[in-house]
Amino acid sequence: MKERQILNVLPGTVRRQVEREELRYDLLQEIRLRVGQPLILIYRGEERIPGQKRGRPYQVTREDIREMLEYVSNYSLYAYEEEMRQGFITIEGGHRIGMAGQAIMEEGKVKNLRYISSVNVRLSHEVLGCADPVFPHITANKRLFHTLIVSPPRCGKTTLLRDIVRQVSGGNQYVRGMSVGVVDERSEIGGCYQGVAQNHLGMRTDILDACPKAEGMLMLIRSMGPQVIAVDEIGTGEDVHAIEYAMHCGCKMLVTVHGESMEELKKKPLFGEMMRRSGLSGTSSLAVRRRVGEVEGGRTTPGHFSTRKGACCDPACRGGAGSGGGGADGRSEGRRGPGTIYRLLGLQRVICSLQGEMGYARSHLGEIFARIGAQEEEPYKSWLLELSRELERRKGGSFHRIWEESIKRHLKDIRLPARELDRLKSLGLELGSADLKLQLRTMELYLEQLAKTLEETREEMRTRVRLCRCLA
């Protein structure tokens, strides 16, 4: 499964390079892509450059980066604006896709990234049982202590937290099974896919996926009544206040934070004050974990240890496609009939639905096309369902190319006005991009143009009716 999750988001050329290496994916840690530089794999803690032994290391291109971003986002970067602002996206399985490029600033804060030139795939690994040595430090008399895990990046905080949650939820020799609420803001703990955790989190665990930590903790307390709440990588004042509230409500906390040591953390005003007010401070020596599941050093204060290294309808046009003007290729601007109006209304309905799904649900384009297609009639039904399948395949090519080719295959013979087909093709240039506001505005303008075409068509039909009556 892990192999499929990773290969599915790699561009075709890079995918073939990685497959030639014959790797064990449980030992693969990172895949680094930098424009104009060799592809680098971190495997068993060491660098490996595909093609280097043959004297031809593979050079990453801008096209590779573009293709990968489309795969990572399911052709729907707009759905990941918040994640892009943080510099990474988490995919199915909890794997983190880090990005670097030019920052777009708004009111002194990072709004988004563009001209992305570096991508780092950090693989998430489940290590079942890695928390075994930790439990004597965080429990006593079958009771769990509030637990704060302190670690620099890439030392296994999340891996350790995940296994603690699993064992607390299921129960073990140190603690009875307890209901656990997990707030998984970046989908790294559970690695959720369509709301269901792909990693092992235990039989008594409820998970809020892609939800801000502070808000999620309050939601879980109100709705699920957890005995334990687990959150990863706290960092804001809102997170701290929510933790304090949860503790006052009687919940045990499992929390991770970036830091070199407890001493360093205490010097930070935000966390130092939290630990003093909550009773999470201590001065005893820290246990140091150099690898996942390996604890050395003395007993800490209970619970403390450190780790290291829109529908439209026209009554006059219901009931059938009718015959309209236009040639078989749909390019003619000739006579239009009720069938043309019927098809234009159908297109209007599709774009309205697309606009609503993108603006409010922020679903991926593939999901949106499948959902709308299932409710539509032909010819739009086949068009949308095929679009969804084509995006799911991830076989290469930009979204605009896939969009345009599908229009040519499915809509060229339905006798839409030529300019509407051209406008519809152009719409694909914006769909899926990171700037959601721009996309919504583009669709609004398209709908305004489509409404004008509908009115012109109706007026043309009225003129033809009057002419027929005069001739009769």
Tell me what pLDDT residue 419 has: 85
Q: 277 or 199, which is more confident?
A: 199
Question: Contact 275/253 with Cβ under 8 angstroms?
Answer: no
Mean pLDDT, range 247-265, rounded to an integer? 87
Task: Return the axis-axis angle of helices 418-427 and 399-411, rounded to nearest 10°.
Answer: 150
Tell me what pLDDT residue 335 has: 45
Q: Which two tokens stand for residue 19?
A: 């497959």
One-letter amino acid at 253 equals M
Tell me what pLDDT residue 166 has: 96
Is residue 127 in a domain?
A: no
Tell me what pLDDT residue 278 has: 58
Q: What percent of the chain has pLDDT over 70?
A: 85
Q: Are residues 143 and 292 in the same domain?
A: yes
Least confident of 209-218, 251-260, 270-279, 366-375: 270-279
Q: Are residues 21 and 164 in the same domain?
A: no
Q: Are residues 320 and 303 in the same domain?
A: no
Beta bridge partners of residue 106, listed in sequence order = 109
Instruction: Count CB-CB contacts under 10 A for residue 151.
Output: 23
SS (H, E, C) the chain: CHHHHHHCCCCHHHHHHHHHCCCCCCCEEEEEEECCCECEEEECCEEECCCCCCCCCCECCHHHHHHHHHHHCCCCHHHHHHHHHHCEEECCCCCEEEEEEEEEEECCEEEEEEEEEEEEEECCCCCCCCCHHHHHHHEECCEECCEEEEECCCCCHHHHHHHHHHHHHHCCCCCCCCCEEEEECCCCCCCCECCECCCCCCCCEEEEECCCHHHHHHHHHHHCCCCEEEECCCCCHHHHHHHHHHHHCCCEEEEEEECCCHHHHHHCHHHHHHHHHHCCCCCCCCCEECCCCCCECCCCCCCEEEECCCCCCCHHHCCCCCCCCCCCCCCCCCCCCHHHHHHHHHHHHHHHHHHHHHHHHCCCHHHHHHHHHHHCCCCHHHHHHHHHHHHHHCCCCCHHHHHHHHHHHHHCCCCCCHHHHHHHHHHCCCCCCCCHHHHHHHHHHHHHHHHHHHHHHHHHHHHHHHHHHHHC
* Averaged pLDDT of the chain: 82
Q: Which two tokens stand for residue 224?
A: 């699920």
Mean pLDDT, range 283-298, rounded to an integer? 39
Tell me what pLDDT residue 290 has: 43
Q: 457 or 300, which is more confident?
A: 457
Q: Are residues 374 and 408 in the same domain?
A: yes
Phi, psi of 69 (to 5 degrees): -60, -35
Tell me what pLDDT residue 2 has: 82
- Quickly state the pLDDT bin for 125 (edges 50, 70, 90): confident
pLDDT digits (tens, 9 = 90+) for 49-68: 998 888 889 999 999 999 99
Mean pLDDT, range 429-447, rounded to an integer? 85
Q: Are residues 169 and 269 in the same domain?
A: yes
Tell me what pLDDT residue 50 has: 93
Last residue of a domain, one of 254, 286, 307: 307
CATH of the domain at 212: 3.40.50
Q: Are residues 116 and 155 in the same domain?
A: no
Least confident of 9-18, 156-165, 266-275, 288-297: 288-297
Tell me what pLDDT residue 222 has: 93
Q: Are residues 354 and 387 in the same domain?
A: yes
Question: Contact 155/317 with Cβ under 8 angstroms?
Answer: no
The total number of structural domains that make up the chain: 3
Mean pLDDT, range 413-426, rounded to an integer? 85
Least confident of 18-22, 325-329, 383-387, 400-404: 325-329
Q: Are residues 54 and 21 in the same domain?
A: yes
Beta bridge partners of residue 149, listed in sequence order = 256, 305
Q: Are residues 300 and 333 in the same domain?
A: no
- Quickly state the pLDDT bin for 276 (edges 50, 70, 90): low
Tell me what pLDDT residue 279 has: 54
User: CA-CA distances (angstroms) from residue 209 to 94, 182, 183, 201, 235?
Assistant: 11, 8, 6, 13, 18
- Decide if pLDDT at 24 tops 80: yes
- Decide if pLDDT at 153 tops 90: no
Tell me what pLDDT residue 316 has: 36
Question: Contact 280/304 with Cβ under 8 angstroms?
Answer: yes
84 vs 57: CA distance, rounded Å: 30
CATH of the domain at 90: 3.30.450
Q: Are residues 151 and 248 in the same domain?
A: yes
CA 361, distance to chain mean position in Å, is 13
Mean pLDDT, range 167-186, rounded to an integer? 95
Task: Return the axis-axis angle of helices 380-393 and 365-375, rounded to nearest 10°.
Answer: 150
Mean pLDDT, range 334-360, rounded to an integer? 81
Q: Are residues 263 and 341 in the same domain?
A: no
- Decide if pLDDT at 47 tops 60: yes
Closest CA to 313 of 338, 346, 339, 353: 346
Last residue of a domain, one of 122, 149, 184: 122
Residue 259: give the domain boundaries.
132-307
Q: What percent of the chain has pLDDT over 90?
A: 43
Mean pLDDT, range 308-337, rounded to an integer? 39
Question: Contact 213/246 with Cβ under 8 angstroms?
Answer: no
Q: Which range has highest mean pLDDT (161-165, 281-285, 405-409)?
A: 161-165
Instruction: Count CB-CB contacts under 10 A for residue 332.
Output: 15
- Quickly state the pLDDT bin for 277 (edges 50, 70, 90): low
Tell me what pLDDT residue 283 has: 28
Is residue 94 in a domain?
A: yes
Question: Contact 409/419 with Cβ under 8 angstroms?
Answer: no
Q: Are residues 282 and 329 in the same domain?
A: no
